[in-house]
Amino acid sequence: MEDTPQKSPAPEQVILRMTSIGKSFLGVRVLRGIDLSATAGEVHAVVGENGAGKSTLMKILAGVHQPDEGTVEIGGETRSFAHPVEAQRAGVAIIYQEFNLLPERTVADNVFLGREPTRRGLLDRAAMDAATSRLLDELDEHSFGPRDMVKDLSVAQQQVVEIVKALSVDARIVVMDEPTAALAEHEVELLYRLIRRLQGRGIAVLYISHRLREVFDLADRVTVLKDGAHVATVRTSDVTTAALVKMMVGRELDAYFPPRADEAVIGEPLLTLRDAGNGKLDGIDLDLRAGEIVGIAGLQGSGRSSLAKAIFGAEPFTRGEITPTRPANVREGVAAGIGLVTEDRKAEGLVLNQSVRDNALLVTRAIGRGGRSHRSTAAVAALLEKVRLRPPRQETEVKYLSGGNQQKVVLAKWLTLAPKVLLFDEPTRGVDVGAKAAIHDLMRELADTGTAILMISSELPELIGMSDRIVVLRDGRVAGHLPAGATEEAVMALAAGAAGAAA
């Protein structure tokens, strides 16, 4: 991240101390002996694989759950919260990955929801708007105002509203749960600046993220949890990425981005686009070759997701030459052997109330392919083994799985098709490092066996580490091509249209 402000040493005033926290649900131990502290003005990252206990620990702090053992101290005072409102009054604010906002209400309405100021028994909207404006000024946020409707704001702006809500209740501790999961690269810079301002106010920030780059950019200290236990708390300046990953997953990740196998070769194009376009794309020239991973880079709105949907047939091309086939709809795309791992797995990739088995068989059932033997319990088990998914039962409803395991079910669904071309839109968004490694391994295995892969990713290290070459989009057109191992600066220069960027 360019121009990232340098972290200053955290003051020694302890704002939060959680000691020996334990919690069980239905006799299952999910937390045991967890210690966590935070000081005024500190960013303290909390990391671990899905299921490590991060969310449960934060919900105890927020008053959603009560601990079975241990103590919570805020400002040196032992506290016990029976309800989230009590935690809020004690100065604890949590910004969840899925925002808690009312889209049909104004910014000010959301900031003061349930705490609206009154005058002579009537809502004092002027006071509410003025207070919201002051808080926005403190954050140097002027792209929207208190009277704007939340539904009209971008995701990054809605996140600002959540932060303003925290400031409005004089929060001393702000918890951020995967705050960049839905942000574009340039919006992450805004979040970084906002966090620095929170630090400047002496607020302790607990930062939960699977993106280790952000942890090292922002955090003064990092606490690692694994299987509900406290592994270590270290200063980020005293640990490497490799060492942190090993603490999280309990093993070395020698090949964070697996290389192409020595015997693997890049073959002939399985799909060719020439001067292809529709209402969102124009003049696209692209070859997807057997055995190759092509990375697609670009800023939000550049046309990355539109490209994947057009190839798949969801938003079909209306002009240009596309060979060997131009799918006019999704069914034609699937019939042509093209699969799409969508950006939003919950809304577009899965049926959350159905089982792992039913989701894994969605594609074959939809197109009527695969006999009874392909749908047997053993066949599905082999498929789930291939994607490294080992749920308790095939009948487990997908909504109960972690984000990483849900993504593996999406992959299993497409593997039943034996796709010639597989399109990945943000393949590891919101998954932990262990699941990321499994997904990366599977992508490389598919490429090594002849599948053509197109991968869209907002994480530049992932894009560069996984791609055999990179195509950069800008304003719905190809801005340039870059070889494997290109620098982040080169990618961003093309994406942003910087002067002197080579096309």
How distant, in Å, are the alpha carbons of 151, 160, 405, 408 from that of 300? Answer: 18, 18, 26, 25
Contacts of 368 (CB under 8 A, 6+ apart): none
Q: Residue 160's closest CA among 172, 170, 150?
A: 150
Q: Where are the domains of the chain?
A: 13-91+171-249, 99-170, 255-337+419-503, 351-417
Q: What is the pLDDT of residues 181-190, one digit of tens each?
A: 767 667 788 8
Q: CA-to-CA distance for 271 and 371, rounded, in angstroms?
A: 28
Q: What is the pLDDT of residues 416-464, one digit of tens each?
A: 989 999 999 999 887 877 788 889 999 999 999 999 999 999 888 889 9
Over 70: is that where the pLDDT of 10 sits? no
Q: What is the pLDDT of residues 17-53, one digit of tens each?
A: 999 999 998 888 899 999 999 999 999 999 987 778 8
* Residue given tokens 């009154």 in the structure block: 118
Strands of the 269-277 sheet, one edge to the other: 284-289, 269-277, 319-323
CB burial class (10 A; 0-12, 13-18, 19+) of residue 26?
exposed
Strands of the 14-25 sheet, one edge to the other: 77-79, 69-74, 14-25, 28-39, 229-235, 221-226, 43-47, 204-208, 173-177, 92-95
pLDDT at 432: 78
Q: Residue 417's closest CA among 487, 486, 364?
A: 364
* Residue given tokens 């800008």 in the structure block: 474
Q: What is the pLDDT of residues 249-291, one digit of tens each?
A: 776 555 568 888 888 899 999 999 999 999 999 999 999 999 9
Q: What is the pLDDT of residues 99-117, one digit of tens each?
A: 889 999 999 999 998 888 8
Cis omega (within 30 of 0) for bond into 67: no
The residue type at 125: R
> How many C-alpha atoms does 362 have within 13 Å on its Cβ side?
20
Helix axes 185-200, 155-168, angle to 10 degrees: 10
Least confident of 167-171, 314-318, 474-478: 167-171
CATH class of 13-91+171-249: alpha beta
Confidence of residue 2 (pLDDT cuts 50, 70, 90): very low
Confidence of residue 501 (pLDDT cuts 50, 70, 90): low
| CA angle, 398 then 386 then 242, to 5° | 90
Confidence of residue 392 (pLDDT cuts 50, 70, 90): low
How distant, in Å, are the alpha carbons of 23, 29, 152, 221, 398 from that of 26? Answer: 10, 8, 42, 33, 20
Q: Residue 487's closest CA among 459, 464, 469, 471?
A: 464
Its pTM stands at 0.68
Q: Do domains 13-91+171-249 and 255-337+419-503 have the same CATH topology?
A: yes
Q: CA-to-CA distance for 225 and 250, rounded, in angstroms?
A: 11
pLDDT at 252: 59
Contacts of 482 (CB under 8 A, 6+ apart): 469, 470, 471, 472, 490, 491, 494
In this structure, the chain runs to a length of 503
Least confident of 33-42, 289-298, 315-324, 381-390: 381-390
Q: CA-to-CA distance for 432 and 248, rounded, in angstroms?
A: 9
Q: Residue 46's closest CA among 140, 199, 179?
A: 179
Over 80: is that where the pLDDT of 358 sits? yes
Confidence of residue 1 (pLDDT cuts 50, 70, 90): very low
Contacts of 130 (CB under 8 A, 6+ apart): none
Over 70: is that where the pLDDT of 377 sits? yes
The residue type at 197: R
Q: Which CATH number fits domain 255-337+419-503: 3.40.630.30, 1.10.1060.10, 3.40.50.9100, 3.40.50.300?
A: 3.40.50.300
**Better-scored residue on pLDDT, 213 or 173:** 173
Over 50: is that where the pLDDT of 368 sits? yes
Average pLDDT over residues 89-100: 86
